[in-house]
């Protein structure tokens, strides 16, 4: 079997589609988790797109080891120069450059002839080779490019020194048989194709990104590009977890293997969903809440007798535990540590004591603490509150006079000082948000607010997500967790505003 290289573009193609600004710490947290997952290449961003993206890519290149760090560019020398400055400290740097040569792009976007486009492509690859040995060329909108034109540009960039050629279905227009045929045609008709790795990059506009990617792999591609949870432009990118597990279930069919650590799939999915504020649909393949649930009595009977009757993948394989320890307020530290370790969290004594205190406070409010609650507790420690906030919610109170009238009093603590203010609003959540606004004086517009349960039962924890937009148009996501939904909402809003204030402070 040949090696299949897994190229993750969550931080580039995924993040640019969300309309939000992930801070450097959030991008680093995702990057480190991707290394644990075992991806081969992390496309850290588009350095020339903004100073913030440049700095994020540079920090990832400095700190994240054991993986190729890639930066995207246009086929423009200036972009390539900036990209090199961002990735030059990486252990294994790669520059990903290219352009579109499909008829519609040549005519309406670039205004170039085929010959001019090929000249630009070759020039970009040669310029990138001055900096790195590993250069990937993307032929944007490859599926809608004439085959003979595609062959000419691929042959030219390979001669110029490209080590990987990327064949994107940029607008998700292909069907699996057509995309597989395209990769087969390339393998047979591009005379120097044997000197490079062929990569597939598919979008999900017609719901076929995973199928198209698998068809391309079967046809000979040795690199797959995608994102965690399938986030990306428009309807999204290929969901890497789906491709990986399709190959896992039937490796002989595709003739490839990967170095993926399957048990990190679920944790990676949760982390990306938490940080980006983009929830995973319950029925999402592999990582959705219902992916390993059996509601039908017939299915339940079959699974209890023999799991393989209705399970082609055991949930433990992707890091979703099946067996549960019943945790209550009477459970001790040993039981909590055991269950957390089964979930993949390994804590020292000091960390365990801090989490145990939170666990007891939660267990006092619930008859049973479920795995989802533990994930939420750990997320509150490592995720929503891992952002080094110096502002915390010390206390609050809300009084209402009907569904549309409320007054909230909020006490915040920052740098060992407290501030108290009150505000009226259209309901308790609106009132508490306005009270926080009065204290922090941070002008933002609330773009979105959502609240959901992250565990089971009427005493489940509430997970609040808010998205706020700054005056300069940037979007920030905040998360808050609590069994009190008002407190969860207040924490989420405060978390978002803390990020905004930090960014404003950093910019001077």
Confidence of residue 383 (pLDDT cuts 50, 70, 90): very low
Query: Domain locations in the chain?
Result: 2-276, 318-384, 391-506
CA dihedral angle for residue 290, residue 296, residue 302, residue 305, rounded to 10 degrees:
80
SS3 400: strand
CATH annotation of 2-276: 3.20.20.70
In tens, the pLDDT along 313-355 reads 888 899 986 644 457 787 788 878 877 876 668 889 999 999 9
Does position 36 have pLDDT exceeding 80, yes or no?
yes
CA 366/CA 354 separation, integer angstroms = 19
In order, the DSSP letters of 221-276 are --EEEEBGGG--STT-B-BHHHHHHHHHH-HHHHTEE----GGGHHHHHHHHHHHH
Which pLDDT score is estimated for 387? 39
In tens, the pLDDT along 250-266 reads 999 999 999 999 999 99
The CATH topology of domain 391-506 is Double Stranded RNA Binding Domain (3.30.160)
Residues making up the chain, counted from first to last: 508
Task: Provide the pairing of β-strand 223-226 with 5-8.
Answer: parallel
Q: Tell which wins on pLDDT, 204 or 400.
A: 204
In order, the DSSP letters of 421-480 are EEEEESSHHHHHHHHHHHHH---EEEEEEEEEESSSSTTPPEEEEEEEEETTS-EEEEEE
In tens, the pLDDT along 392-403 reads 899 999 998 876
**DSSP for residue 68:** E
């Amino acid at each position: 079997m040949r090696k299949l290289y897994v190229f993750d573009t969550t931080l580039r193609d995924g993040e640019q589609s969300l309309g939000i600004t992930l801070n450097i710490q959030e991008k680093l947290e995702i990057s480190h988790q991707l290394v644990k997952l075992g991806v081969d290449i992390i496309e850290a961003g588009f350095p020339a797109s903004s100073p913030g993206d440049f700095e994020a890519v540079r920090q990832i290149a400095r700190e994240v080891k054991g993986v190729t760090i890639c930066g995207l560019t246009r086929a423009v020398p200036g972009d390539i120069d900036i990209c090199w400055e961002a990735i030059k400290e990486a252990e294994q740097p790669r520059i990903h450059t290219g352009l579109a040569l499909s008829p519609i792009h040549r005519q309406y976007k670039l205004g170039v002839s085929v010959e001019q486009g090929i000249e630009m492509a070759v020039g970009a690859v040669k310029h990138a080779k001055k900096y790195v040995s590993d250069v990937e060329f993307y032929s944007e909108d490859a599926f809608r490019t004439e085959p003979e034109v595609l062959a000419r540009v691929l042959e030219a960039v390979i001669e110029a020194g490209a080590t990987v050629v990327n064949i994107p279905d940029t607008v998700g227009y292909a069907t699996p048989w057509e995309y597989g045929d395209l990769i087969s045609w390339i393998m047979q008709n591009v005379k120097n194709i044997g000197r490079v790795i062929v990569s597939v990059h598919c979008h999900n506009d017609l719901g076929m990104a995973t199928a198209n990617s698998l068809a391309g792999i079967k046809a000979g591609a040795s690199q797959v590009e995608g994102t965690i949870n399938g986030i990306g432009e428009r309807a999204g990118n290929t969901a890497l977890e789906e491709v990986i597990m399709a190959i896992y279930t039937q490796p002989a069919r595709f003739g490839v293997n990967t170095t993926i650590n399957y048990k990190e799939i679920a944790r990676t999915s949760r982390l990306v969903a938490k940080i980006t504020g983009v929830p995973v649909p319950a029925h999402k393949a592999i990582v959705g809440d219902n992916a390993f649930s059996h509601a039908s009595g017939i299915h339940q009977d079959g699974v209890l007798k023999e799991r393989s009757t209705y399970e082609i993948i055991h949930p433990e394989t992707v890091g979703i535990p099946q067996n549960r320890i019943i945790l209550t307020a009477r459970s001790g530290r040993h039981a909590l540590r055991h269950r957390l370790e089964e979930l993949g969290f390994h804590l020292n004594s000091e960390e365990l004591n801090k989490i145990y205190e939170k666990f007891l406070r939660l267990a006092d409010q619930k008859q049973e603490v479920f795995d989802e609650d533990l994930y939420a507790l750990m997320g509150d420690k490592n995720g929503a509150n891992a952002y080094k906030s110096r502002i915390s919610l010390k206390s609050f109170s809300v009084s209402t006079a009907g569904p549309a009238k409320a007054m909230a009093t909020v006490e915040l603590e920052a740098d060992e000082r407290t501030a108290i203010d009150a505000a009226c609003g259209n309901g308790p959540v609106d009132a508490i948000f306005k009270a926080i606004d009065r204290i922090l004086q941070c002008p933002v517009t609330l773009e979105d607010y959502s609240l959901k349960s992250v565990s089971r039962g009427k005493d489940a924890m509430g997970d609040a997500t808010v998205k706020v937009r700054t005056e300069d148009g940037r979007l920030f996501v905040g998360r808050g967790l609590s069994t009190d939904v008002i407190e969860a909402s207040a924490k989420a809003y405060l978390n978002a505003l803390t990020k905004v204030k930090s960014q404003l402070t950093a910019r001077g």
